Amino acid sequence: MSEILLDSQAFFHNLTFISRHLSAHSTSTKLALVLKDNAYGHGLEQIATLAREFGVRDVFVKTHFEAKRVQALFESITILYGAPDEPLAPNMAIAINNKEILQSLLPGTKVELKVNAGMNRNGINPDELEEYITHIVRAGLELFGVFSHNGYGDEVGEDFAMGCENFRAIKSVVARKCAELGIALPRFHTLNSSGTLRATHIDDDLVRVGIAAYGYLESDATPHIAQQLKPVASLWADRISRKILPCGAKIGYGGKSVLEAQSVVSTYDVGYGDGLYRVNERKILHTASGERILPRTSMDCFSCVSDASRICVFDNALAIAREFDTISYEVLTRLSPFIERTIVRRADKQNE
């Protein structure tokens, strides 16, 4: 059956590369890993295991369901969306974007307050900071973190620097309010992968690394860095059937693929039902070894001129992303959670 192979050495290489950048541009900032959406499609438990092995202690997930699946592996797990339907474990925190979720939490719950620093997506407004912190303290909740999301790390221009400046102002307000209320300072963080790897000075407590850990960085601001990263996941498909077809034979729905010579045509067990994009006659997509994926692909399979019993559909998501005018994130997170994920360890390579 189809399978996603996870290159442990590539993953460790990426985390090492990012850690070295942090060491060069900060004094004590920690690397935290974003595991949301099934670890960007790579497999939550598999990537969590490798992250723990590398030494990651702080992670971010999408839901309480994801948090519970990796509960035993990390010192802190922050849930980015939704309200928990039961008390949180001591190593879990919940992100706060509105007052309604605050009112649903039990005393003692750890919270991370998200603040809008200019992206104008999620997070409370900066002028609400003091009100929220006061409410958190009075409700008996623990202010574990204050964070934002600088949405301009990929872009050339001044917006990234402005977002960083806005977050510094947020930190000042929080520090003053915490002193007034006699509570400890929370942890602070605002940088994602692209922001982390373009920053020349980082003074937050941690950075939230997502896509770069998995081998990608589609950033206009730091195009040279992407070349230093190694994609972790490769998608493999197994042969369902093999046919020797004559010149002129039509293949698949609508007969949109017509053979120009007698060929061996095989069908493989990955389709758009597994999260691979549907290839039609207006799209050109090749496997990792260069065989064209013949239009039109089906829900559960695709065909190509090949006699291989197993084929690598892709080992780099960028080719698919470019053909379908999207980004690597979408290609990876679309992959069905029902496809088996297998960690590959190469004994002949040392960790970098």
pLDDT in tens, 250-261: 999 999 999 999
Q: What is the model's pLDDT at position 167?
A: 97
Assess whether 216 carries a catalytic annotation.
no
- What is the sign, positive or negative, of the torsion defined by CA atoms of 312, 313, 318, 322? positive
Q: What is the mean pLDDT of residues 29-57?
A: 98
Residue 190 near residue 166 (C-beta atoms within 8 A): no
Q: What is the mean pLDDT of residues 128-135?
A: 97
Residue 10 near residue 347 (C-beta atoms within 8 A): no
C-alpha 192/C-alpha 182 separation (Å) is 30
Mean pLDDT of the chain: 96
C-alpha 35/C-alpha 62 separation (Å) is 8
Assess whether 253 carries a catalytic annotation.
yes
Give the distance from CA 289 to its chain's centroid: 26
**pLDDT band per the 50, 70, 90 thresholds, residue 352:** very low
Q: What is the model's pLDDT at position 347?
A: 59
Residue spans per domain, the chain: 8-213, 233-344
C-alpha 263/C-alpha 249 separation (Å) is 9
The CATH H-level (homologous superfamily) assignment of domain 8-213 is Alanine racemase (3.20.20.10)
In the numeric block, which tokens belong to residue 46?
Answer: 């598999």
Residue 36 near residue 61 (C-beta atoms within 8 A): yes
C-alpha 210/C-alpha 19 separation (Å) is 13
Name the residue among 258, 128, 50 with its Cα closest to residue 59.
50
Q: Which residue has the tokens 């941690």?
A: 206
| Dihedrals phi, psi of 45, to nearest 5 degrees | -65, -40
**pLDDT band per the 50, 70, 90 thresholds, residue 348:** very low
Q: What is the model's pLDDT at position 221?
A: 84
**Considering only the top CATH level, what class is 233-344?**
mainly beta
Which residue out of 30, 36, 114, 230 is catalytically annotated? 36
Degrees, nearest 5: CA angle 132-143-131: 10
Which residue out of 99, 243, 250, 253 is catalytically annotated? 253
